[in-house]
Amino acid sequence: MSDDLYHDALVALARAATGAGRLEAASASATRDNPLCGDRVTFDVRVESGRVAALAHRVRGCVVCQAAAAFLASAAPGRGRSELAAARGQVAAMLEDGAAPPPGAWEGLRIFEPVGTVRSRHGCVLLPFDTLDDALRGAEE
Amino acid sequence: MRRELLAELRRDLAAKRTAVVATRLDSGESAILHPDGGDASGAGGPGDAELLARAREAALRDQSCTVDTAAGPVFLRVFNPPVRLVVVGAVHVAQALAPMARLAGYDVLVVDPRRSFAAEERFRGIALSREWPDEALARLGPDRRTAIVTMTHDPKIDDPALVAALRSEAFYVGALGSRKTQAARKDRLREQGFGDADLTRIDGPVGLAIGSVSPGEIAVSILSQLVARLRLSRDAAPAGR
């Protein structure tokens, strides 16, 4: 994996913008922003039997933030809130403590490994995770 | 001035719409013209197409005047809404520029999606928006009496503002940043389809060359350049930084 923050795979993931848009008949929506850099993420989710059935997102932000939202659009469907919270914990550990990227289903998070060296940008990866969690919590209420 | 005319003028001023009161000097008959509106209201008074065109010129110059028409001399009294200044980036220079521009009589809005910058306590009494600048500009609809200055130093925020500014009729488009930054910025804007004619509209490095150093001094140089762009022809304006 490249040490460059904006390596090709990350840029490609952001450009693909998987899941970008609005979701009709969403169970819940949530928006969060980063007060330091202005990045803003909105997630719409439809939840069925406690699992993500469909989602869509709108991101105003940097390439890293766009890539993280696109990653979740691919990885989150079929998963429940606690599973996603665990993945958030793993990606935070990878960024902050240099922990090994999670194996298995979340292996794709490796793409964000180079962000770990730039502390000020950790939030760019985590913002979509936290926003999605807000939306899923909203869907439970 | 008739009472109903005055009421109409007050509505125009409240709606921040340019109004020109046309008064025939021979009869004293008055009507309100709206040179920026699609409607040629004022018809029936001295409001024909030619007069509307003259009213538009007067409004552009921001100067009342008497014009000769086939029907005799007509006095055109211009009522322009305040010039608007949209400052993108709630940074130090903006903290100085916003109150200065307000004192100069302009309507000021500071836009910054970064909440830690766009904090009320940093901009007492100044209108603040935490929208992304292109969203704010789409809502505001910049016109010929709008100035837009970007100062976040973050292309992610400045570039969308400049794109919206260049697609509008804004009379002043300024971008804070060094010469090197400006060159890179112009390359990115070219990639988005803008040509040299568009890019020369951007004053950057922003401000007049008055040797300003501190945020307050830089604000003075920007405000001076804004006035020059508003009141002088491009050739007559003093040199930029």
Please identify which residue in the block is written with the tokens 């930084």: B241
What is the structure's pLDDT at B45?
A: 46
- pLDDT band for position A6 (50/70/90)? confident
- pLDDT band for position A1 (50/70/90)? very low
B138 touches chain A (CB under 8 A): no
Q: Look at residue B146 and tell me whether its pLDDT is greater than 90.
A: yes
- Give the alpha-carbon dihedral of A84, A85, A90, A96, to 10 degrees: 130
Q: Are B206 and B161 contacting, i.e. CB atoms less than 8 angstroms apart?
A: no
Residue B112's closest chain A neighbor by CA? Answer: A38
pTM (global) more than 0.90: no
Residue range A71-94, pLDDT digits in tens: 999 999 999 999 999 999 999 999
What is the structure's pLDDT at B140?
A: 95
Residue range B83-137, pLDDT digits in tens: 999 999 999 999 999 999 999 999 999 999 999 999 999 999 999 999 999 999 9
Chain B residues in contact with A32 by the CB 8 A cut-off are none
- Per the rule left: phi > 0, alpha: psi between -120 and 50, beta: everything else, B225 is alpha
What letter would DSSP give residue A101?
Answer: P
Considering only CA atoms, which of B48, B84, B80, B91 is closest in space to residue B165?
B84
* H helix intervals, chain A: 8-16, 63-75, 81-97, 122-140
Q: Look at residue B178 and tell me whether its pLDDT is greater than 90.
A: yes
What is the structure's pLDDT at B46?
A: 45
Residue A37's closest chain B neighbor by CA? Answer: B114
Binary contact (B113, A33; C-beta < 8 A): yes
**CA B79 to CA B73: how far, in whole Å?**
19
Q: Give me chain B's average pLDDT, please.
A: 92
- pLDDT band for position A59 (50/70/90)? very high
Please identify which residue in the block is written with the tokens 């007067």: B58
Residue range A8-29, pLDDT digits in tens: 899 999 999 999 999 999 999 9
B113 touches chain A (CB under 8 A): yes
Chain B residues in contact with A36 by the CB 8 A cut-off are 114, 116
